[in-house]
Amino acid sequence: MTTTPALPGCTVVAHPLVRHKMALLRDRATPTKLFQELVSELATLLAYEATQQLALTPIEVSTPLETTPGEQLATPPILVPILRAGLGMVDGIRALIPDARVGHIGLYRDHDSLAPVEYYFKVPPGIATHDVFLLDPMLATGGSAVNAVTALKRSGATRLTFLCLVAAPEGVRRLHAAHPDVPIFTAALDRELNAHGYILPGLGDAGDRLFGTK
Ligand code: PRP
Ligand code: URA
């Protein structure tokens, strides 16, 4: 077992490969290209743990020698990255689940209030009948995640899971309080937020580090 229960509703994926890659991800000296690769690889590893409850349908498979019972995913999940930084997690999960369709939610935190501002929302049809994986590397105050889950539920989503790489206890508590039905999977549960809403020790601004905007 590579997961550890943390705060209620939150699972920390503590696999050695995750811990190794997280140390590289946090390092301020890690350049943009490697940072992108690590976010993608960590998303793959997290998705492996977070997809354990996906339903399967029995099928029959023809091997070169005979037919045998097999299984396939009943319905491929829908991935919804929160722009911008969530985009970095999509390809790593699609490498595991190529049939996964992708929606997008555009949110940014207001500099002063830290409240999320929504500027884009588009999800594929079937959101009500598919598992939905909401993606964002950072769960800080939790405002963005709560806003995104609320918007997805408003458009019909019922089976939601939140995947992040670094979570602050404040964000985990806020998301779990607002949406206790949404399991949270994270690669790390950090200590606290600073006065500007940044996670400590954290990794800095995930969007800026992914896209080289600073
Ligand atoms: C970051 C991050 C989350 C949000 C987390 O995005 O990718 O979406 O902050 O913070 P919260 O839990 O306090 O809401 P940011 O607002 O910086 O947007 P950007 O990367 O698109 O600039
Ligand atoms: N968003 C980030 O990108 N990093 C943080 O530490 C907090 C919010």
Residue 39 Cβ inside 6 Å of ligand 2? The answer reads: no
Q: Which ligand is nearest to the CA of 214?
A: 1
Residue 193 Cβ inside 6 Å of ligand 2? The answer reads: no
Tokens in use for 40? Answer: 């993608």
Tokens in use for 8? Answer: 């209620």
Tokens in use for 3? Answer: 């997961």
139 membership: H or E segment, kind and range: strand 138-139
Domain at 2-51+77-211, CATH class: alpha beta
- Confidence band for 2, pLDDT divided at 50, 70 and 90: low
Residue 111: its pLDDT value, please? 87
Residue 51 Cβ inside 6 Å of ligand 1? The answer reads: no
Asked if pLDDT for residue 73 goes beyond 90, the answer is: yes
Cα 137 to ligand 2 centre (Å): 8
Q: Which atom of ligand 2 is nearest to the CA of 209?
A: 3
State mean pLDDT over 65-70: 98
Residue of 87, 183, 182, 186 lying closest to 139 (CA atoms): 186
Residue of 153, 151, 144 lying closest to 171 (CA atoms): 144
Tokens in use for 198? Answer: 């940044």
- Confidence band for 6, pLDDT divided at 50, 70 and 90: confident
Tokens in use for 110? Answer: 């207001």
State mean pLDDT over 162-174: 98
